[in-house]
Structure 1
Amino acid sequence: MHELIRREAPELAPYVQSGMLGYGSYHYRYDSGREGDWFVVGLAGRKAYVSLYVSATVGDRYLAETYRDRLPKADIGRSCVRIKRLSDVNLDTVAALIREAAQTRPDSSA
């Protein structure tokens, strides 16, 4: 999955944050005043699956949510795509999600 992300979004520099592999960075600021930096795309290995985090938004929805019908065997939350086996998903679709995330700046305010 790391190689797929690097190939599809080479402009997103990899680094480790909060025990996950992050790609690209953006600064966020909430109305409450809380602010920080987070990754555009993140990758984490879990016991039963791999989590692909996509922070990009489209309108008022997280980009990952818009791929729910294109990745029916993945468990998709708001910004997280949980994949049990890579054979369960179409990697071309995952690649398209990563490319779109790299081109879509996450909403920096909440």
Structure 2
Amino acid sequence: MAENKTKATEASVESYIEGIQDSARRKDCETLTKLMSKATKETPKMWGTSIVGFGSYHYKYESGREGDTCLVGFSSRKSDISIYGLNAAPTHDDLIAKLGKHKAGKGCLYIRNLADVDLKVLENLVADAAKAKHHDRC
């Protein structure tokens, strides 16, 4: 069974965010860090080289594959900010309809910039997803 490549590290979240070249994107990532910290009540931590994650979650699939990942997290990518872990929110479908301009992938939400979305809705999505995963592991 292959091991997860993306693991929690001791790398600096601040250094990662400071390294984002685009100043508007950097500001969005600073805001997202505060929003996710508040919503999850977790301290941000780097997962791999490019994911800012909050909390940790042990998963096990029916296939037998298992590992650890962050409850929720985000990464600044070339054209969007990818947000991970929100599908676990029981309120996902209702809230996603109210979120604003975004794209959705299999396990990610893609946002060009935070001005395009309702931050209160995003905060609720993050909080609900983290809570659902906390509940799963208890």
What TM-score do you get using the length of structure 2 for normalisation? 0.64
- Number of residue pairs matched? 104
The answer as to 2:55 corresponding to 1:37 is no
Could you say what the CA RMSD is over the residues aligned between the two structures, in angstroms?
2.3
Deviations 1:55-94 (A, max 9, x none): 55257xxx65553311241112233111101110011111
Query: Following superposition of structure 1 onto structure 2, how do residues 1-110 of structure 1 map, counting pairs within 5 Å?
Result: 1-10=32-41, 12-19=42-49, 20-54=51-85, 57=88, 64-105=92-133
Of Structure 1 and Structure 2, the greater helix share is in 2
The percentage of counterpart residues that share the same residue type is: 33
Contact 2:36 2:126 in 1 (8 A): yes
> How far apart, CA to CA, are the structure 2 residues paired with 1:5 and 1:73?
19
Q: How many Å apart are 1:26 and its aligned residue?
A: 1.0
Contact 1:56 1:105 in 2 (8 A): no
Structure 2 regions of 5+ residues with no counterpart? 1-31
Of Structure 1 and Structure 2, the greater strand share is in 1
Q: Does 1 or 2 have the higher relative contact order (CA < 8 Å, sep 6+)? A: 1
Structure 1 regions of 5+ residues with no counterpart? none
What TM-score do you get using the length of structure 1 for normalisation? 0.78
SS of residue in 2 equivalent to 1:69: helix
Q: Structure 1 residues 64, 78: closer, same or farther in 2, change over 3 A?
A: farther
Q: Which has the larger radius of gyration?
A: 2
Deviations 1:7-31 (A, max 9, x none): 2221x33222133111111111223
